Amino acid sequence: MNTVGVFDSGVGGLSVLRALLAELPGVRFVYVADSAYAPYGERTVAEVTERSERITTWLRHTHHIDALVVACNTATALAIDSLRATHPDLPIVGVEPALKPAAAMSHTRHIGVLATRGTLNSERFARLRAQLESVASSPLHFICQPCDGLADAIERDDLQTQQALCERYVTALRDKAPGDMDTVVLGCTHYPFAADAMAQLLGPGVTLIDTGEAVARRTRDVLNMYGTNDTAARAPVLVSSGDPTMLSLAARRWLGLPTRAEKLVT
């Protein structure tokens, strides 16, 4: 059986794990929520890189993973190149804001992007945006809005703060838009868990896009290259550097998983 490590700054990566479980039921997943250091979007490049390396090394030594999914937009933007250089023998799949599928879907060519400040300020995001704008058949307008504090509110399951921040950032996004926005990218793996609130605020004419399904398909393709062993589905291993109870509750609430999370010390 293949074992795949998955990590995020907290519980947000469960949105990616949900898609992975649906796409690859015969794979053993080990999910790490680095909640003691969340949110990554408000930390430095050095801090995110150091935590990403520690978790990857722990997953390799403790669970002997066959592949790694960096289920965090900020960690992908700031640390995945370093991880690939340090672990050249390990297949690593990252996530990034779904600008390309949004560009393919949008009719108005006005696309909102809600993400952490760390993701939006990263060189990786700038390259992706510039690449798409340079090859577009007609002008693309990406309207970017940093959402300080939203990932943390989702992490803490603080519904009142989530609602207030969603209202603040959706309003700010609309105020920046030069035209009719018909597509909004959820550029943080935490944000799909606030998608209902955002959809109500944006209205029925706006499509929300996240990256979970695309990441799951890419992971399937990577494992197929190395030979996937299909077996009966099994519950993932859940580990948290913060309070394991919070991860257990989030996994039960959002994924219907009864798995009890363990404590990570690294």
In 3D space, the residue among 101, 91, 96 whose CA is nearest the CA of residue 75 turns out to be: 96
Helix (H, G, I), strand (E, B) or coil at 34: coil
Identify the active-site residue in 72, 144, 147, 166. 72
Per DSSP, 216 falls in state H
DSSP string, 38-60: --GGGS-HHHHHHHHHHHHHHHH
Q: Is 72 a catalytic site residue?
A: yes
Tokens of 71: 């289920």
Identify the active-site residue in 144, 147, 166, 188. 188
Helix (H, G, I), strand (E, B) or coil at 264: coil
Tokens of 66: 């066959």
Helix (H, G, I), strand (E, B) or coil at 111: strand
Helices (H), the chain: 14-23, 45-63, 73-86, 99-105, 117-120, 123-135, 150-155, 159-176, 195-202, 212-226, 244-255
Per DSSP, 217 falls in state H
Long-range contacts of 251-255 (CB under 8 A, 24+ apart): 251/11, 251/14, 253/157, 254/11, 254/14, 254/15, 254/18, 254/193, 255/14, 255/17, 255/18, 255/21
Q: Is 144 a catalytic site residue?
A: no
Cβ neighbours of residue 151 under 8 Å, at least 6 residues apart?
A: 9, 10, 12, 38, 39, 41, 116, 188, 190, 191
Active site residues: 72, 188
